[in-house]
Amino acid sequence: MQSTKRSDIQLRAINLEIDMVLDSPSAVMTHLQSNPLRLLIGGELVEGGQYAPVIDPATATECAIAPIATATQLEQAISAANAAFPAWAATATKERRRCLRVFAEVLESNVAELAAILTLEQGRPLALTRVEIERAAMLLRAMLTIDIEDEVLRDDEGGRVVLQHRPLGVVGAIAPWNVPIGLAVPKITHALYTGNTIVLKPSPYTPLSTLKLAELARDVFPRGVFNVINGGNDVGAQMSTHADVAKITLTGSIATGKRVVASSASTLKRLTLELGGNDAAIVRKDVNLEHVAPALFGAAFVNSGQVCMAIKRMYVHSAIHDELVERMAAIARDTPMGGGFTPNVKLGPVQNQAQFDSVLSVLKETKADPRARFVVGGSAVDKPGYFIEPTIVTGLTQGARLVDEETFGPVLPVMRFEDDDDAVAQANAGKYGLCASVWSSNIAAAQQVASGLVAGTVWINRHVGVDPLVPFGGMKESGLGRQFGKEGLLAFTETRALYCPPGA
């Protein structure tokens, strides 16, 4: 198969902008039918062993088909990555950095196409999927500023000791359906910048944009360094047990993370797991309600609540509870919901049937609880697709499923508290520990509250967002290890101490 040159990639992007405006589901579907997607294995774009439908969550109907990798094709991808590893590991950091900068250029020059495909398969409004692609490129570039070179720990009459950071080998990366490109690109960057090769598996619910990215970036890296396959849980399980996969990086549920830990134990794989987050926000009585209500709503209902770090529980001081709830409910009533290609839409659907059913199950159980008060929402929208009204529920306490579990949909329970210690105790209850936030006009008091929260990230007067230079990850059952920052990058390496004689 003849390879595509970098200039051809750029020209294709330019021609797409000129010849086709991808501003409707039908336009994107036609584009995909004319440009069928394939797997990327060892630098070659190959047909899948079989094909599976991809569902548009805004209509609950098939919008495309995606190739599925066979077990043999996964073996081929891992073999290609394994064969490419020695040369890529020996490649100078400067050259790996250059390749990744070209990868960022591919993202930026093809943002219109990638965002349109992403909106079709994931459901989020087009303006927001464009932001996802652009931000992925920004995160990538920022991470390349982090120094991962060897460190001299000692150089004296006793000798010279160098701390080396050696790449691990083949990284198996498993990305989720809620933010497909935004969560895949950092995994690619972590793995390749540190000298590893990668086999990336997107979610079978949202494989299209990732497969398109693989096609566009086919010639950015040497053959075998970057591989993209597609498939279900069986493919992920095969990667987790494979002897030639040195590390698994996963963003997913706690249940999936536990399965990966168990299946990877036989080979003692290195793991970076970013898992569920039933994130708490504590709102003290001294806040400016006019300012915080929109910010809290946005942080709770971003991507229709389908973000691991979104606010999933809110604890509000009793003195302001009712007013804040009513302000947020008013925002919910005025927030337009619909398909991602519809102008001015702010909230899209739940991404897939299984998650839609799960959220509705939680709502049904909550409605049976006599304590629960549905201030706004509470039902599926009477239209095609997986739409659920933005919902705010009060009156619950710990022990209710909506409070204790991560619903991962547009549903927010709001609880009362009387003092800071009470709020911290409620927020810390349960198995989750990904993120939390404290909202207050008294920063010193907010810092004191934050110091008691058990979470990997705690914000004051904001919630949601990562800094690529700052480690991110969860405590308790919300994950293992960290992504981003130097700590996140070095988790994709093995530390080795090299002792040299004096004068070396």
- Does any domain span residue 138? yes
- Does any domain span residue 315? yes
pTM: 0.95
- Does any domain span residue 500? no
Note whether 386 and 320 are same-domain residues: yes
Question: Using CA atoms, how far apart are residues 279 and 469, in angstroms rounded to an integer?
Answer: 22
pLDDT computed for residue 20 by the predictor: 66
Residue 182 above 60 pLDDT? Answer: yes
Residue-wise pLDDT tens digits, 19-54: 568 999 999 999 999 999 999 999 999 999 999 999
* Amino acid found at 173: A
- Does any domain span residue 292? yes
* Domain extent at residue 454: 279-466
Note whether 199 and 320 are same-domain residues: no
Of 395, 397, 443, 445, the closest CA to residue 420 belongs to 445
Note whether 52 and 193 are same-domain residues: yes
Note whether 390 and 423 are same-domain residues: yes
Per the DSSP assignment, residues forming a β-bridge with 160 are 155, 500
The side-by-side arrangement of strands in the sheet containing 159-167 is: 151-156, 159-167, 493-500
Note whether 124 and 111 are same-domain residues: yes
pLDDT computed for residue 11 by the predictor: 44
Note whether 261 and 309 are same-domain residues: no
pLDDT computed for residue 503 by the predictor: 82
- Does any domain span residue 501? no
pLDDT computed for residue 18 by the predictor: 41
Per the DSSP assignment, residues forming a β-bridge with 347 are 337
Note whether 342 and 370 are same-domain residues: yes
Cα separation of the two ends of the chain: 49
- Does any domain span residue 473? no
Place 9 in a pLDDT band, splitting at 50, 70 and 90: very low
DSSP letters spanning 19-35: H----SHHHHHHHHHHS
Mean pLDDT over each residue of the chain, to the nearest integer = 95
Torsion of CA 327, 328, 330, 333, to 10 degrees: 180
User: What is the CATH classification number for the domain harbouring 391?
Assistant: 3.40.309.10
Q: Which residues are catalytic?
A: 274, 308
Residue 280 above 90 pLDDT? Answer: yes
Report the domain count for the chain. Answer: 2
User: What is the CATH classification number for the domain harbouring 49?
Assistant: 3.40.605.10
Residue-wise pLDDT tens digits, 349-405: 999 999 999 999 999 999 999 999 999 999 999 999 999 999 999 999 999 999 999
Torsion of CA 122, 125, 127, 132, to 10 degrees: -30
Residue 2 above 60 pLDDT? Answer: no
Question: Using CA atoms, how far apart are residues 291 and 460, in angstroms rounded to an integer?
Answer: 14
DSSP state of 302: G
- Does any domain span residue 260? yes
- Does any domain span residue 503? no
Note whether 269 and 315 are same-domain residues: no
The C-alpha angle with vertex 304 and arms to 301 and 306, in degrees rounded to 5, equals: 100
